[in-house]
């Protein structure tokens, strides 16, 4: 076993023992053609929901202060650590994260703060910032 395999196994154990159940729901996003409105986006659920574990932390001024100073994240946002193999980006991909089982709140990902940590060129874990979606919201940002 290489270093990356040991790290992945260790972090998966942490996510299982200390993590919170999360649901990842993917959406295909299309922008309406011929529309004069900027927010004419249509979200269509893509595939099945993915259930996994992740560790949730509140923001800290020391570690996350730079992004807060730039206005990219707000003090009410949340930090989530998950397995590095999860995909959160794509040109027409929308992702919604539900925390808990049953889902207690749903969040959108703030893409500017997403970081991937690698070992031996293999993604080990990801840190993503989450913003709470208001009840009934689909787009979020």
- Give which of 47, 56, 52 is closest to 86, Cα–Cα: 52
Q: In terms of residue numbers, what domain contains 85?
A: 3-132
DSSP letter assigned to residue 47: S
Residue 41 resides in a domain: yes
Residue 92 resides in a domain: yes
* CATH number of residue 73's parent domain: 2.40.10.270
Residue 139 resides in a domain: no
d(CA 47, CA 82): 20
d(CA 121, CA 119): 5
- Give which of 7, 74, 91, 86 is closest to 50, Cα–Cα: 86
pLDDT at 140: 43
d(CA 83, CA 117): 10
β-strand pairing of 93-99 with 20-31: antiparallel
pLDDT at 79: 93
Give pLDDT tens digits for 77-100.
999 999 888 887 655 567 889 998
Residue 97 resides in a domain: yes
Task: Give the pLDDT band (50/70/90) at residue 55.
Answer: very high
- Which tokens in the block code for residue 46? 């893509």
Residue 141 resides in a domain: no
Cβ–Cβ < 8 Å for 130, 106: no
- Which tokens in the block code for residue 57? 């932390």
What is the average pLDDT value for the chain, to the nearest integer? 82
- Give which of 140, 113, 141 is closest to 127, Cα–Cα: 113
Give pLDDT tens digits for 32-54.
666 566 566 677 788 788 899 99
pLDDT at 78: 92
Task: Give the pLDDT band (50/70/90) at residue 63.
Answer: confident
β-strand pairing of 78-83 with 93-99: unpaired
pLDDT at 37: 60
Total number of domains constituting the chain: 1
Residue 140 resides in a domain: no
Q: What are phi and psi of 75, to 5 degrees?
A: -60, -20
């Amino acid at each position: 076993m290489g270093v990356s395999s040991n790290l992945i196994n260790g972090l998966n154990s942490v996510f299982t023992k200390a993590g919170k159940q999360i649901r990842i729901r993917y959406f295909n996003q299309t922008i309406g053609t011929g529309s004069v409105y900027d927010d004419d986006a249509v979200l269509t659920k893509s595939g099945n929901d993915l259930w996994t574990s992740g560790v949730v932390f509140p923001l800290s001024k020391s570690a996350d202060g730079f992004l807060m100073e730039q206005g990219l994240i707000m003090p009410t946002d949340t930090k989530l650590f998950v397995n590095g193999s999860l995909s959160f980006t794509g040109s027409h991909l929308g992702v919604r994260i539900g925390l808990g089982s049953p889902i207690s709140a749903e969040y959108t990902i703030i893409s500017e703060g997403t970081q991937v940590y690698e070992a031996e060129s293999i993604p080990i874990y990801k840190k993503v910032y989450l913003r709470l979606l208001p009840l009934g919201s689909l787009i979020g940002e």
